[in-house]
Amino acid sequence: MADPTEPHTNEPARTADTTPARTGGAAPDGGKKEPGLLGQLFAPVAGFGVTFGTMFRKVPTQEYPEVKRPTATRYHGRHQLNRHPDGLEKCVGCELCAWACPADAIYVEGADNTDEARFSPGERYGRVYQINYLRCIFCGLCIEACPTRALTMTNEYEMADSERAPLIYEKHQLLAPLRPDMLTPPFPMAEGMEERDYYQGKVTGSTSGQRDYVEQREARRSEAEADAEARS
């Protein structure tokens, strides 16, 4: 039974520890083992053993930027704003990516699509889209938050610069390049298709109606530019 006069404690009772590890590594007889004759001879240069050993190992240096090492497949690099198969933008300007970003690196301004100028199949599109790569920590939370898979990350990592301003990427730098069957927005949705059809994969490329629309739009723009040049 415990002595009521002893102070209460949860610690185990301490006993004298006389193991070599607790007494500074000294052997029980109190003396360190002396090196032999060979050990004494090489003692002054023993530290160079590491140096000599390293000299004959394979050199891991990469000759960057001449030789670029491929990244891991799922490496988090520069962001990309994706397009639907006809070229319309997937971004609907909802700003969820900006709210999800822990570094406050994304700035989005949405705007309404109109019949005259449609950039995405939905009601809204991302009119302004910026990512500040001075802040981004490449965590990928923004791409998780995106409801339309408009935002993904590429494997590109060469984004260094000596100025600050070029590291704030604008929408035109982030938009995915146009593939051969894609058109440059704005243009109407594919004939007979609704917004949901785009997300159900029913649109597989641009239609003849969309191509005609873009051709006429470009022709009108060229005419207007020619008129403006003639007047000036």
**Choices 10-18, 41-49, 103-111, 196-204 (CB under 6 A): range interacting with ligand SF4:** 103-111
Q: Residue 131 or 214: which CB sits closer to ligand SF4? A: 131
In the shown chain, the binding pattern of residues 110 to 139 toward ligand SF4, with x for contact by CB under 6 A and - for none, equals: ----------------x----x----xxxx
Residue 203 makes contact with ligand SF4 by CB under 6 A: no
Q: Which of 103, 110, 113 is nearest to 79 (CA)?
A: 103
**Choices 23-31, 94-102, 159-167, 211-219 (CB under 6 A): range interacting with ligand SF4:** 94-102
Q: Which of 94, 89, 95, 151 is nearest to 121 (CA)?
A: 89
**Choices 55-63, 93-101, 155-163, 172-180 (CB under 6 A): range interacting with ligand SF4:** 93-101
CA-CA distances (angstroms) from residue 102 to 118, 130, 139, 166?
31, 15, 9, 22
For residue 101, the minimal CB distance to ligand SF4 (Å) is 3
Q: Which of 96, 124, 131, 90 is nearest to 110 (CA)?
A: 124
Residue selected from 105, 174, 183, 214 as contacting ligand SF4 according to rule CB under 6 A:
105
Interatomic CA distance for residues 20 and 70, integer angstroms? 51
Residue 93 makes contact with ligand SF4 by CB under 6 A: yes
Residue 214 makes contact with ligand SF4 by CB under 6 A: no
Q: Residue 124 or 211: which CB sits closer to ligand SF4? A: 124
Decide if 77 contacts 157 (C-beta within 8 A): yes
Residue 94 makes contact with ligand SF4 by CB under 6 A: yes
Residue 174 makes contact with ligand SF4 by CB under 6 A: no
Q: Residue 105 or 214: which CB sits closer to ligand SF4? A: 105
Binding stretches for ligand SF4 (CB under 6 A) = 91-97, 100-101, 103, 105-106, 108, 126, 131, 136-142, 145-146, 148, 150-151
